[in-house]
Structure 1
Amino acid sequence: MTFHDRTEELDALVSAFESTGSDVFVVYGRRRVGKTELLKEFCADRPHIYFLAAQEAENRQREKFIDQVAAYFDERVPRIDGWDEAFEYLGEKLRSEEVVVVIDEFPYLVEENDSVPSYVQGFVDEHLQQTESMLVLCGSSVSTMESEVLGHESPLYGRRTAQLDVQPFSFQDAREVITYGIADAIRSYSITGGTPMYLTLFDYQQSLTENIRDQVLSPSAVLYNEPEFLLRTELRNPARYMSILEAVALGHTTPNEIAGATGIDVGPLSKYLQTLRRLRLIDREVPVTATDKKSKRSRYRVADEFLRFWFRYVEPNRSSIEEAPGVVYDGTIAPDLPTHVATTFEDICQEAIWEGIRRGDFEPYSEVGRWWYGEDEIDIVGLAPADDRILLAECKWTTDPVGKPLVESLRAKAPNVRWGPEDRDERFVLFSKSGFIDGLEDDLGEHWSLYTLSKMDDLITSGSTVAD
């Protein structure tokens, strides 16, 4: 896979390596976000030992680890009986040389022997701290990394000198990879999301339709079974989790709605939802104005665009896709795709607002998110408590230009957002895929900002001239 971006993450690793003394650097994040590629890029021109753990017996893992260490130092493989001896051997060798030691998929070692973090602690305290070398512990099991490496109860607590929680690419980052015009770039991102592997599987010289058919709907394609593979990697019995993800992807977002769609009682459902959140497969949202983040007005959403697409269109239609993928695309996916993309468009508009805040195009807001109460919803609300300022924005992924009805609707809903004093400073933003009716911007005051797709693209890509 081609390496893209990750400049800040690379800089953090380089700074740690070049600093005085030893380092214990923790890298973690969801599967497929590019952690291994990041570490390979970092290690490429530095002395390093790279060990990739696997789901296999402990003694075999240890043998491979010792093989890697011995091979680097060009020595015969010593006889080692336990992890304590393995790390002691590594420690002795590091006394004479500055090396980056990467243990990738560290949770697999812990899975086979939960004492491994204690052995690593001993290695850090007794050996690594006396060197200029760097230990990198990397893992895709976020829960294991947080508990067994970063957690208060971990023997390694307090030993790390830095950490990276590697996230999927934002649309702004992914825009460097997706070479379509802005409209198709948004559509494409709504399918691949920001996962580097998925982004780079698409061929942007082909049409989006061809990419969907070839890379997602073909039973021989990697992405056709990818979500099921991911879940089976993380969970012993993924069937119920898959039904929950499908329900949420299809628009059942409250616990009661999810329970009704899946047939899972609300009580047990909460544990499944908690696990899916821990795996970063779903997010829980509350209205941005909620003072209690445990608000009963919470909603759930699939946290990854590709998973949301797959559970919305692929999983419910697998039998038909096996027989006639073209028919499924033309009859089911293509007509409904604008509805799917509209949700992604709201997220990208949030990105545009944050970028506008950073660049000074918008005044600062400390919180930006969705808002809803009863039947009322506003796509984006920004809060600036120190200045009693509120931003209210709507995002329209429609085929017609936006006109006065949306303006009046947003004005009417604004008083229902109960936040701040009565004389608060209200700012309004409209984002529209198809632009605006002639003269609309002239009819609105200075507190209104209107963004077409090309204007959004310029904002997000800092002056890019990518065609609309």
Structure 2
Amino acid sequence: MKPEFVDRERELAWLEERFRSGGAELLVIYGRRRLGKTELLKRFLRSKRCIYFLASRTSLQDNVESLKKKIAEFIGKRLYERLQVRGLGELLTYLAEEVERPCLVIDEFGYLVELDRGVLTDLQAAWDEALSRRNFFLVLCGSSVSMFETEVLGYRSPLYGRRTGSWRVEPLSFRDARSFIPRYGFEDAVRVWAAAGGVPMYLRLFDDGLEFEENLKRVVFTKGAVLYDEGYFPLREELREPSTYLALLKYLAAGYNTIGKLASAMGADKANLTKYLAVLQSLGLVKHVVPYGQRRKGIYAVADNYMWFWLKFVLPNQSELELGYVDEVLRRIRPELEQYMGLVFEELVRQLVASRAVPLPFKPTYVGQWWKGEAQIDVVALDQHNALFAEVKWGRATSQDLTKLIENSQRVDVGGRRRHYLVVAREGSGVDWLIDFEELDKLTKPSR
């Protein structure tokens, strides 16, 4: 059975701490869809006297009426259903007068803002005049990252300066993602991670009783499957020009990874591309990577594993997939799929080093990579006195890989730091400093 709730200990601890403060709290929790925000809130609300309200896209008045019924039921006074209120702020003020420590969670608060931006001003006035003085515990939760960061958290928002805390919910770590596929070994777990990332809803779709490729056919490559066209939705949800951003992402996934290359391929203005890329970075869909020791000369890459996988393997083949040619597409892309797994594995190792899941003789404060021309080092990790250089191989490593790593590292200036070397690979021979898949499997096993 798939777990209903995984990880989120830090988020829960933060919510509990704020709740125990006893004072007025206006908390903002947001993050892209499918990450388990609602499940997090429901877990937090267990055994608490609190109202949970899920907003809808009907009308603001309809939402106020629905919440009014919930409040009437909560306080045990049906007469409250007949209250004539002018808006959300007045309704919450009535609640504050009836309950000693009012507690309310509004999920999908962004829907209310979409319906009437005036709800922000209304809520601000109620908070200033009444709610903050009644130790009101209010949580606003939503899935539109761009809206929350501008309309709710932005300095032009009526609520600016009122929030007492905010938390952007991120995808699960690799270790926690493995809780959804406990029967898979390390290699297959990486394959699932490469296709689904750390998104709980996506991970639940994979059956660890089936071969990985069967899962791909069933949940990704078959028309009608959830992940077949899921890549369109975050763009439509967040952006006004989804087709423009989709075109940009397609070129990024195809390897056009600098402003210059993207501008040439798309026939677009560099200044506009910079703006588009900044938006995609704020949504967590794109990252800008700069080699160690440089301030410029960076590249752009797709940051989300599912989106990267979908852009590389599903979207370009949808004409054939629409006709049901799943096996044919899989046969053709298999070599490229293995190359992709290698790139995802490199990034995963950097994450494992940064999170200190990989045992090292020091605790790194910087983790990145280095390249110059054709020379490349997959992992560079530093603290004040030490530097680690690591080669990452999806396949088998040999002594030549270590020799090349040491040679390339001589071109990297790390000052007087002590140099350490490591090779991370499926297996290896003649390599003194090696972490293989068997050891990585033990290091990344879920704690429960």
Where does residue 397 of structure 1 map in the other structure? Answer: 394
Does residue 416 (structure 1) correspond to residue 411 (structure 2)? The answer is yes
Q: Partners of 2:236 and 2:249 in 1: how far apart?
A: 14
1:318: how far off?
0.4
Where does residue 444 of structure 1 map in the other structure? Answer: none
Distance 1:26 1:178, change over 3 A: same
Does residue 452 (structure 1) correspond to residue 447 (structure 2)? The answer is no
Does residue 343 (structure 1) correspond to residue 346 (structure 2)? The answer is no
1:240: how far off?
1.6
Equivalent runs, 1:125-204 vs 2, <5 Å: 125-179=128-182, 180-204=184-208
Does residue 221 (structure 1) correspond to residue 225 (structure 2)? The answer is yes
Under a length normalisation based on structure 1, what TM-score does the superposition of the two structures give?
0.88
Distance 1:460 1:361, change over 3 A: farther
SS at match of 1:440: coil
* 1:400-450: CA deviation from partner (whole Å, max 9, x where unpaired): x31122112112211222x332x43111111002x111x432xxxxxxx31
**31, 40, 43: which one aligns with 1:29:** 31
SS at match of 2:397: coil
* 1:129-152: CA deviation from partner (whole Å, max 9, x where unpaired): 333441111122223322333333
Answer whether contact 1:213 1:329 (CA < 8 A) is retained: no
Q: Partners of 2:70 and 2:447 in 1: how far apart?
A: 47
1:189: how far off?
0.7
Where does residue 428 of structure 2 map in the other structure? Answer: 436
1:323: how far off?
1.3
Q: Partners of 1:138 and 1:362 in 2: how far apart?
A: 41
1:254: how far off?
1.1
Where does residue 257 of structure 1 map in the other structure? Answer: 261
Distance 1:20 1:304, change over 3 A: same
SS at match of 2:202: helix
Q: Partners of 2:200 and 2:447 in 1: how far apart?
A: 24
Distance 1:261 1:303, change over 3 A: same
**Partner amino acid for 1:170?**
S
Distance 1:394 1:312, change over 3 A: same
Q: Partners of 1:100 and 1:289 in 2: how far apart?
A: 49
1:99: how far off?
4.1
Where does residue 83 of structure 1 map in the other structure? Answer: 88
Answer whether contact 2:186 2:438 (CA < 8 A) is retained: yes
1:164: how far off?
1.8
Where does residue 312 of structure 2 map in the other structure? Answer: 312
Answer whether contact 2:222 2:326 (CA < 8 A) is retained: no
1:72: how far off?
2.5
Q: Partners of 2:71 and 2:264 in 1: how far apart?
A: 54
Q: Which runs of 4+ in 1 moved over 6 A?
A: none
Answer whether contact 1:58 1:109 (CA < 8 A) is retained: yes
Q: Partners of 1:462 and 1:170 in 2: how far apart?
A: 10
Q: Percent identity?
A: 37
Unaligned runs of 5+ in 2: none
Equivalent runs, 1:257-406 vs 2, <5 Å: 257-290=261-294, 292=295, 295=296, 297-356=297-356, 361-384=360-383, 386-387=384-385, 389-398=386-395, 401-406=396-401
Of the structure 1 ranges 8-17 and 454-463, higher mean CA displacement relative to structure 2 is found in: 454-463
- Cα RMSD (Å): 2.3
SS at match of 1:416: coil
1:268: how far off?
2.4
**Partner amino acid for 2:392?**
C
1:354: how far off?
2.7
**Partner amino acid for 1:41?**
R
* 1:238-291: CA deviation from partner (whole Å, max 9, x where unpaired): 11211111111222211222233334332322222122122221111212333x
Unaligned runs of 5+ in 1: 442-448
Give the paired residue count. 442
Distance 1:457 1:289, change over 3 A: farther
